[in-house]
């Protein structure tokens, strides 16, 4: 069987995709540069599995990407390689433009070259799935949800770079006929997530009895999607989605950030009770908001549910409990990260990683 080529397969969502596919007997080629957020520790369970191959390469290196296509002859591409943290994009946008726009251009060009040379039957089956974000749509008010027809209105260097890559993908379909698919997802959470993001950062800080910094008043609203549900959706889109179409993926779990942090505190109190810092809600500290912080995101997933039969299996309560349990049981995984360059400092106010400031995720 021809493999699925996953770019960014050592990252949070990518490693979940690799683990799911390999566990189900699929052949997978994992292309990853291993930046700060790429972690092969997340793939130890499949590292020696039959049909799995890791290739360290930069998605912006056209020669390297072309060589991987020619060597492995994939049946499909899932393009996940991206710089993904809003706060880091505020502190330094250049790498986001390079990876998210230039890298996507390389993937499209090499996919097109490879696809055009395939035999007719393989050309008919080949797909490129580009994984994007709800942040390309901007910010919502107190009601409504983003649909596949929502206008693009990115507000940060990160979301602008992802919006640009989405437009490239659509252009390569309409101009060249490349069989592409686009997914836009809400906020992911789950095991193996780099601890600069809100949920893992709060779990780790709460378990360590450190201050829990929350932006503003914690009133910003996000729709939370468990990473396992997200990857199941990607697999359904890859196998049954219509080329040229986009699909929104949401968890149907809208919560204010402060509510998320409070639930984490309560779960850590329950699962790790032996500390004088209980209740851990007393560790919450409100800090200055980040620039241009979007108020609310929410995704309308009716299309993927109606047309492809996908629906999330995890509620936020079940998914959050599993996530907290994983971080508490796998301290070695995140302690290696904290012993390196990233130690939970705040990003997104024009400071550089390593400055001795707090972080609000």
Query: Tell me: the pLDDT tens digits for 301-339?
Result: 999 999 999 999 999 999 999 999 999 999 999 998 877
266 flagged as catalytic: no
Strand partners, 7: 31, 79
pLDDT level of residue 68 (50, 70, 90 thresholds): very high
Q: Which two tokens stand for residue 247?
A: 């699909």
CA dihedral 258, 260, 262, 267 (to 10 degrees): -170
Q: On the CB side of 325, how many CA atoms lie within 13 Å of its CA?
A: 6
- Considering just the CA atoms, what is the radius of gyration of the chain in Å? 20
354 exposure class (CB count in 10 Å sphere: 0-12, 13-18, 19+)? exposed
Which one-letter DSSP state was computed for residue 213? E
- Residue of 52, 114, 158, 342 marked catalytic: 158
CB 130 within 8 A of CB 182: yes
pLDDT score recorded for residue 97: 97
pLDDT score recorded for residue 353: 35
pLDDT score recorded for residue 294: 81
Alpha-carbon span 281 to 315, nearest angstrom: 22
- Residue of 135, 166, 229, 314 marked catalytic: 135
pLDDT level of residue 347 (50, 70, 90 thresholds): low
Please compute the mean of the pLDDT values over residues 66-82 and round it to a whole number: 98
Alpha-carbon span 179 to 169, nearest angstrom: 10
Residue 354 in this model has a pLDDT that exceeds 50 = no
Q: Please tell me whether residue 27 adopts helix, strand or coil conformation.
A: coil
Match 């009601």 to its residue by tokens. Answer: 143
Residue 127, Cα to own-chain centre: how many angstroms?
A: 20
pLDDT score recorded for residue 293: 80
Element (H, E) at 214: strand 212-215
Please compute the mean of the pLDDT values over residues 38-67 and round it to a whole number: 97
Per residue in 100-123, pLDDT (tens digit) is 999 999 999 999 999 999 999 999
pLDDT score recorded for residue 338: 78
Which of these, 188, 143, 141, 146, lies nearest to 163 by C-alpha position? Answer: 146
Backbone angles phi and psi of 74, in degrees to 5: -70, 155
Alpha-carbon span 330 to 180, nearest angstrom: 37
Q: Which two tokens stand for residue 124?
A: 């008919």
pLDDT score recorded for residue 350: 52
Alpha-carbon span 131 to 247, nearest angstrom: 10
Backbone angles phi and psi of 326, in degrees to 5: -65, -45
247 flagged as catalytic: no
Please compute the mean of the pLDDT values over residues 255-261 and round it to a whole number: 97
Q: Which two tokens stand for residue 304?
A: 């993927």
Question: The domain 4-193+227-255+297-313 is classified under which CATH number: 1.20.58.220, 3.40.50.720, 3.30.420.40, 2.30.30.90?
Answer: 3.40.50.720
158 flagged as catalytic: yes
Please compute the mean of the pLDDT values over residues 56-74 and round it to a whole number: 98
Per residue in 202-242, pLDDT (tens digit) is 999 999 999 999 999 999 999 999 999 999 999 999 999 99
pLDDT level of residue 352 (50, 70, 90 thresholds): very low
Residue 345 in this model has a pLDDT that exceeds 90 = no
Q: Which two tokens stand for residue 38?
A: 């790429």
Strand partners, 52: 28
Residue 349, Cα to own-chain centre: how many angstroms?
A: 22
- Residue of 16, 32, 58, 134 marked catalytic: 134
342 or 326: whose pLDDT is higher? 326
Mean pLDDT of the chain: 92
Alpha-carbon span 47 to 265, nearest angstrom: 34
Please compute the mean of the pLDDT values over residues 97-102 and round it to a whole number: 98
Alpha-carbon span 35 to 33, nearest angstrom: 6
Residue 203, Cα to own-chain centre: how many angstroms?
A: 18
Alpha-carbon span 270 to 272, nearest angstrom: 6
């Amino acid at each position: 069987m021809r493999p699925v080529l996953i770019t960014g397969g050592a990252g949070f969502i990518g490693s979940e995709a690799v683990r799911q596919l390999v566990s189900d007997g699929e052949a997978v080629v994992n292309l990853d540069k291993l930046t700060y957020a790429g972690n092969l520790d997340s793939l130890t369970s499949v590292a020696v599995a039959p049909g799995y191959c890791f290739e360290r390469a930069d998605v912006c290196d056209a020669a390297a990407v072309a060589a991987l296509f020619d060597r492995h002859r994939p049946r499909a591409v899932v393009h996940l390689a991206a710089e993904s943290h809003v706060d880091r994009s505020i502190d330094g946008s250049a790498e986001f433009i390079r990876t998210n726009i230039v890298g996507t251009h390389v993937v499209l060009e090499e996919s097109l070259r490879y696809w055009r040379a395939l035999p007719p039957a393989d050309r008919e089956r080949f797909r490129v799935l580009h994984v994007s974000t709800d942040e390309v749509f901007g910010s919502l008010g107190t009601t409504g949800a983003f649909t596949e027809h929502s206008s693009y209105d990115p507000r940060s260097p990160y979301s602008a770079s992802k919006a640009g890559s989405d437009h490239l993908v659509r252009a390569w379909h309409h101009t060249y006929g490349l069989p592409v698919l686009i997914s836009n997802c809400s906020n992911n959470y789950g095991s193996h997530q780099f601890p600069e993001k809100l949920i893992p950062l709060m779990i780790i800080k709460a378990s360590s009895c450190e201050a829990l910094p929350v932006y503003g008043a914690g009133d910003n609203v996000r729709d939370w999607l468990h990473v396992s549900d997200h990857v199941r959706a990607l697999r359904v889109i890859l196998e049954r989605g219509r080329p040229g179409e986009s699909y929104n993926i949401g968890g149907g779990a809208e919560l204010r950030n402060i509510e998320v942090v409070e639930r984490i505190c309560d779960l850590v109190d329950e699962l790790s009770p032996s500390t004088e810092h209980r209740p851990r809600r007393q560790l919450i500290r409100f800090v200055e908001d980040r620039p241009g912080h979007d108020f609310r995101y929410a995704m309308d997933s009716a299309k993927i549910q109606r047309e492809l039969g996908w629906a999330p299996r995890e509620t936020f309560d079940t998914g959050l409990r599993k996530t907290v349990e994983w971080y508490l049981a796998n301290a070695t995984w995140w302690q290696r990260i904290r012993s390196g360059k990233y130690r939970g400092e705040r990003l997104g106010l024009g400071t550089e990683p390593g400055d001795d400031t707090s972080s609000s995720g």
